[in-house]
Chains A and B, each alone.
Chain A
């Protein structure tokens, strides 16, 4: 197979984007190390805050479980959230895409034989690769220090489901951010709106509070929403809080959301391009 034919193969060109981007990001890895350590500061607060809450319950004689979670579970939940968010958060995607659309920078990509959305996926994937390259050095020692909180050894099924759920987490995070970014095709100035969306995501993914301890009337919405897959579900799956016979169902709903988001984002891209006026450029 000649070089020219090989370069034309769709897989190869995205591979090149991925590897170039990864090398670029690697140049700034010191930045990542810095972030990787300080990132855990809020976890320190969480550990003590929840301790005070569980302690308050103990003195008043209330049950030592909150929503079926012990104090150790709560700490582990908050720690695993870092892993889940390490997959589902794609910082800058919303604002980058909306900026490309708004300022007409999209032209650069439209004239190239690549799909812009796949280009974005590769770009963020590279970012994640470097993130995890550093995180594999910082996460294990921190988790080792916290070993006494990890009371549940996940089964093989749970480990498998966890890995799959992380894939769903990245897909949903990536697709959702792309869709919000593409809203710029219709509404030119959306930066204020982005902040609101990020906050909702923060809340509905269970980052602030585990979804199962929120008021029961919210459960129906929260458990079936796509955002739970960006944080809550991967955590509780590995913690063994999802019965094994329900694992498949949880993952299936996740895949349905990935499918819906994929279809929607393709549709938005097609319709959006029709409206795109390439201002600036």
Chain B
């Protein structure tokens, strides 16, 4: 209990530290907000054009698709807020031997390197995503119960952690191959799969995206909960898979550390 409290306090401190840093660049905050807003508008146009051609895509109507888009957006933004920068920094630290400074601190190193920096502009943008979801649900005349909202929040967090697990494993890969750029590109390209309903994919690909590369678990499970397109088993499966992926990161991190050679070159 004492340990958990200590880690929570530390998380709070790191977040506060980043918040203070963020306040020094207020203009950046505004610019980021508007660019993200434009991205969302473009997604709306995209969905609008697609549904201008047909009433249903693989059994999903327009507003259901927007709920999915919004959910995926919230998850992606939260991931970028909490972990993305940290994963990118981690690859540099491993390559250049800067990880030393983190290893000597009296705290779990994976925890430290994963949560050190928070990007507040993305936190803010994720709330815009929540607005999109509520708007689409309102259009369909659907409501969310209090319990449903809590469960949705937990599933969103689960999705964020799955994203984190995948990207973290890719970053840790640097221990073996010595370099790992293209990380950003991979994130974007795999992220494509979670933007759409799993129902559009053929059997084999769908199974793959529900298990080994669980991009569908990330977004389709929480969105499915809101629009009643999810069986109860899906919830349990989602959490179980999230836990499995997260424990894998701990294992691979330890394996990787054994290969760490500290100083550069």
- Residue pair A38, B35 in contact (C-beta under 8 Å): no
- Residue pair A199, B182 in contact (C-beta under 8 Å): no
Q: Does A281 contact B (CB under 8 A)?
A: no
Q: Does B211 contact A (CB under 8 A)?
A: no
B126-159 to A contact mask, C-beta < 8 Å, 1/0: 0000000000000000000000000000000000
Which one of B51-59, B75-83, B225-233 contacts A?
B51-59
Selected from A53, A66, A208, A214, the residue in CB contact (under 8 A) with B57 is: A53
- Residue pair A49, B35 in contact (C-beta under 8 Å): no
- Residue pair B182, A192 in contact (C-beta under 8 Å): no
A33 to chain B, nearest CB (A): 10
With A56-B54, A60-B54 as contacts: A213 and B49 at CB distance below 8 Å: yes
Q: Does B50 contact A (CB under 8 A)?
A: yes
- Residue pair B186, A53 in contact (C-beta under 8 Å): no
- Residue pair A53, B31 in contact (C-beta under 8 Å): no
Which one of A10-18, A40-48, A133-141, A222-230 contacts B?
A40-48
Residues of B within 8 A of A54 (CB): 54
Residues of A within 8 A of B202 (CB): 48
- Residue pair B54, A57 in contact (C-beta under 8 Å): yes
With A52-B58, A199-B42 as contacts: A45 and B50 at CB distance below 8 Å: no
Return the chain B residue nearest A210 by Cβ: B49
Q: Does A209 contact B (CB under 8 A)?
A: yes
Q: Does B84 contact A (CB under 8 A)?
A: no
Q: Does A34 contact B (CB under 8 A)?
A: yes
Selected from B27, B53, B182, B200, the residue in CB contact (under 8 A) with A57 is: B53
- Residue pair A208, B32 in contact (C-beta under 8 Å): no
Q: Does B192 contact A (CB under 8 A)?
A: yes
Q: Which of A23-74 contact B (CB under 8 A)?
A: 31, 34-35, 38-39, 41-42, 44-45, 48-49, 51-57, 60, 62, 66
Q: How many residues of B contact A (CB 8 A)?
A: 34
A232-245 to B contact mask, C-beta < 8 Å, 1/0: 00000000000000
Q: Does B109 contact A (CB under 8 A)?
A: no
Q: Does A149 contact B (CB under 8 A)?
A: no
The answer for the CA separation of A44 and B196 in the assembled complex, in Å, is 12
Selected from A45, A51, A189, A192, the residue in CB contact (under 8 A) with B195 is: A45
Q: Does B5 contact A (CB under 8 A)?
A: no
- Residue pair B31, A192 in contact (C-beta under 8 Å): yes
- Residue pair A208, B54 in contact (C-beta under 8 Å): no
B33-51 to A contact mask, C-beta < 8 Å, 1/0: 0110011001001100110
Q: Which of A79-125 contact B (CB under 8 A)?
A: none
- Residue pair B196, A45 in contact (C-beta under 8 Å): yes
Residues of A within 8 A of B265 (CB): none
Return the chain B residue nearest A208 by Cβ: B46
The answer for the CA separation of A150 and B30 in the assembled complex, in Å, is 45
Selected from B34, B39, B53, the residue in CB contact (under 8 A) with A53 is: B53
The answer for the CA separation of A39 and B190 in the assembled complex, in Å, is 10
- Residue pair A35, B185 in contact (C-beta under 8 Å): yes
Residues of A within 8 A of B195 (CB): 45
Q: Does A5 contact B (CB under 8 A)?
A: no
Q: Does B28 contact A (CB under 8 A)?
A: yes
The answer for the CA separation of A52 and B55 in the assembled complex, in Å, is 11
Q: Does B201 contact A (CB under 8 A)?
A: yes
Q: Does A4 contact B (CB under 8 A)?
A: no
Return the chain A residue nearest B30 by Cβ: A192
Return the chain B residue nearest A62 by Cβ: B54
The answer for the CA separation of A53 and B200 in the assembled complex, in Å, is 9
B204-238 to A contact mask, C-beta < 8 Å, 1/0: 01000000000000000000000000000000000
Return the chain B residue nearest A194 by Cβ: B35
Residues of B within 8 A of A209 (CB): 46, 49
Q: With contacts A55-B58, A56-B53, A203-B45 known, what are 5 further pairs, Cβ within 8 A?
A: A48-B202, A52-B58, A66-B53, A203-B42, A209-B49
A residues in contact (CB < 8 Å) with B: 31, 34-35, 38-39, 41-42, 44-45, 48-49, 51-57, 60, 62, 66, 189, 192-193, 195-196, 199, 202-203, 208-209, 213-215
Could you pull out 5 A-B pairs where Cβ atoms are within 8 angstroms? Answer: A42-B192, A48-B196, A48-B200, A48-B201, A56-B53
